Structure formats: C-alpha cells, structure tokens
Amino acid sequence: MLPVFRRFPAHPVRCVVVFLLSATALHAQVPAHATRSQDAFIRTQTFGLFFAYSNDSSHILLGDAENRKLLNIGATYGRRIWAGKVVNWQYHGEIMPVALESDPVDLSLITETSSAGGIPISYTQQSEPLTHCVPGPYVPFEPIVFNGITYTATGTITCSRRWTIGEGMMPVGFQWNFIPHHRIQPYLVGHGGYMYSSHAIPIQDAGHFNFAFDFGAGLEIFRNSKRSLRLDYRYHHISNHNTAPYNPGIDNGLAEITYCFGR
C-alpha cells in the first residue's frame, strides 16, 4: 500500500475539493432527511378505537333535557385530505355499535291506608323517562270515601335511571391537526350523523331515531409514526328535528379518548 500512496500523494487542493464535494452532498441530504422525519407525524390513513362518556346534560345551546348520560364505544377512520406546515386536514368518521343513553326516572313508594284499620298497603311505581326528576314527598291522590271507608295515601319520590341501548354513526366529519410536524398536536374536530335507540329518548314519544352532531378540540400525542393517542372534549347534541311528537333534545359535554394506528 505504501507505493500507492507515494504514487498518488495527498495534494492540498485535492483535499479541499473532496471536502467541498462531501459537504455539498451532506447538505443536499439533510432537507430530505428532515422532511421524512417531519412527515412521520402526518399519516395517510388512520384507524382508531374510542371510548366516550358524558356524566350529565344541560341546556348548553339547543337541548332542554337535563341529567342525561352518554356512553359510546366504537371505531374511527380518517384519511388525509391536505397537509401543510400549519395544518393537516383530514376526513374523519365514527361508527358506534354501542351507544348508550341514560334518562332519569322516578321511583314512587306509595303507602295506602284506610279508616277501617288493617295493614297499610305499600307498592312501588316507576315512571317513564322525565325531562328532570325532583325527589321528595308527594300526595298520590286525594282522600277517597268508598262504602263509608276513607282511603288515604302518602308517597315518596326517589330518582333513578334507565339506560337505553342503541347504535349510531357519524359519517360526515373532519379533523384539523395544527403544527402537524410535531409529536404533540392540538386539533379541532366535528361530525354529523345519527343515533338509533331501542326506546324513545330522551322522553316517551320523542322517537327512536335522532340526528346527532358534535364539535370540539383536543390533543393528539404521537408515540411514533404509526401510533398515537387522542384526547378531546366536545359539545354533543341529539334531537329528532321535530320528526316525532316531542323534541326536547339533549346537549352533553362529551369527553373522548381514542387509540389510533395507521400509516
């Protein structure tokens, strides 16, 4: 090897040229590498499994039915529409094979007595779902006189719940992730769809079929290029749009957690 080195001595100009060529090649590779690293947090397609829950409802914007609970379990699908440096715009849909809604009902403990004496008769009645439940004592009926015997009654109302199972789908939806090249990304999300339940909700004669929409904000935390966790909070509304005799509507603040994977 020594003769070879003697035959081709290291010239200073040749060293400078080699250095400049190497630096140029390295500089050309850096942007491509950085782009690949940044694009790691912008998936083409995303699948997810989610759990959503709301412990209460109130008149937030449109709904009047109070004290309703929601519990949804389902899957999501997303596909990138357009991505830039500031925002990643995605189609986002949800399907809910398990959609539970809980309505307040009252349990009435009624005790009847008569002026003829004897053992008081006690029994319990459960109401249909109510707009709201107010616990406390009440008078089931005024005293009744029959065959000279006076019958009276006292009652006590306690609040209980009835869970109704259903299913739903949010096929129209979008999600906007901001600073999409970062591992932690804030986002906005919104959907439109329906919910079908086994009983009329939120009250009797309100209908089994309801329209639904939501919108909210959250954070998506990427573990790597394929997996992430989404946490968001949404305004969620359900109503039948006056397709049934009664339409009180339900407004909930819905918290949702989603495990995402894709490419």
The region, left, alpha or beta by phi > 0 then psi within -120 to 50, assigned to residue 51 is beta
pLDDT of 24 strictly over 60: no
Confidence (pLDDT) at 5: 38
Q: Does residue 150 lie in a domain region?
A: yes
**Residue range 170-215, pLDDT digits in tens:** 999 999 999 999 999 999 999 999 999 999 999 989 999 999 999 9
pLDDT given for residue 129 in this prediction: 86
| Inside any domain, residue 121 | yes
Whether 110 and 98 map to the same domain: the answer is no
User: What gap in Å lies between CA 76 and CA 190, rounded to an integer?
Assistant: 13
* Mean pLDDT of the chain, nearest integer: 86
Task: Identify whether residues 110 and 231 lie together within a single domain.
Answer: no
Domain total of the chain: 2
pLDDT number for residue 125: 87
Would you say residue 7 has pLDDT above 80?
no
Predicted local distance difference test score (pLDDT) of residue 50:
98
Residues 211 and 118 in one domain: no
Proportion of the chain above pLDDT 90, given as a percent: 69
Structural domain of residue 69, as residue ranges? 38-103+163-262
Which amino acid is it at 254? L
Q: How far is Cα 227 from Cα 252, in angstroms, rounded to an integer?
A: 29
Show which of 115, 143, 160 is a domain's final residue.
160
Asked, for residue 13, whether it belongs to a domain, the answer is no
- Asked, for residue 66, whether it belongs to a domain, the answer is yes
CA 157 to each of CA 25, 45, 56, 119: distance values in angstroms, whole numbers, following the listed order: 81, 52, 21, 22
Question: Which of 128, 160, 192 lies at the terminal end of a domain, its last residue?
Answer: 160
pLDDT of 69 strictly over 90: yes
Is residue 24 situated within a structural domain? no
pLDDT in tens, 131-156: 777 899 988 888 999 888 899 999 99
At residue 14, the pLDDT reads 54
- Between 40 and 197, whose confidence is greater? 197
User: What whole-number distance in Å separates Cα of residue 91 and Cα of residue 189?
Assistant: 10
Q: What confidence tens digit (pLDDT) does each residue in 110-132 have? A: 999 988 887 888 988 888 887 77
Residues 147 and 252 both lie in one domain: no
Are residues 55 and 176 both part of a single domain? yes
173, 93: one domain: yes
Asked, for residue 258, whether it belongs to a domain, the answer is yes
- Does residue 27 have a pLDDT over 90? no
Domain's final residue, options 117, 139, 160: 160
**Is 89 in the same domain as 203?**
yes
Question: Which of 51, 73, 47, 38 lies closest to 185, judged by CA?
Answer: 38
* CATH number, position 220: 2.40.160.20
The answer to the question of residue 215 being in a domain is yes
Query: Does residue 77 sit in the same domain as residue 181?
Result: yes
Mean pLDDT of 22-47: 59
**Within this chain, do residues 114 and 96 fall inside the same structural domain, yes or no?**
no
- Tell me: cis bond preceding 3? Omega within 30 of 0 counts: no
Task: Give mean pLDDT, residues 66-92.
Answer: 96
Give residue 175's pLDDT. Answer: 98
pLDDT at 25 exceeding the cut of 70 = no
* Domain shared by 181 and 242, yes or no: yes
Q: What is the DSSP letter of 96?
A: E
Residues 99 and 113 in one domain: no
Q: Which secondary-structure segment (H or E) carries 144?
A: strand 144-146
pLDDT tops 70 at residue 101: yes
Residue 35 confidence (pLDDT): 42
Instruction: Answer yes or no: do 147 and 171 share one domain.
Output: no
Q: What angle do CA 163, 168, 169 make, to 5 degrees?
A: 160
For residue 14, being part of any structural domain is answered with: no
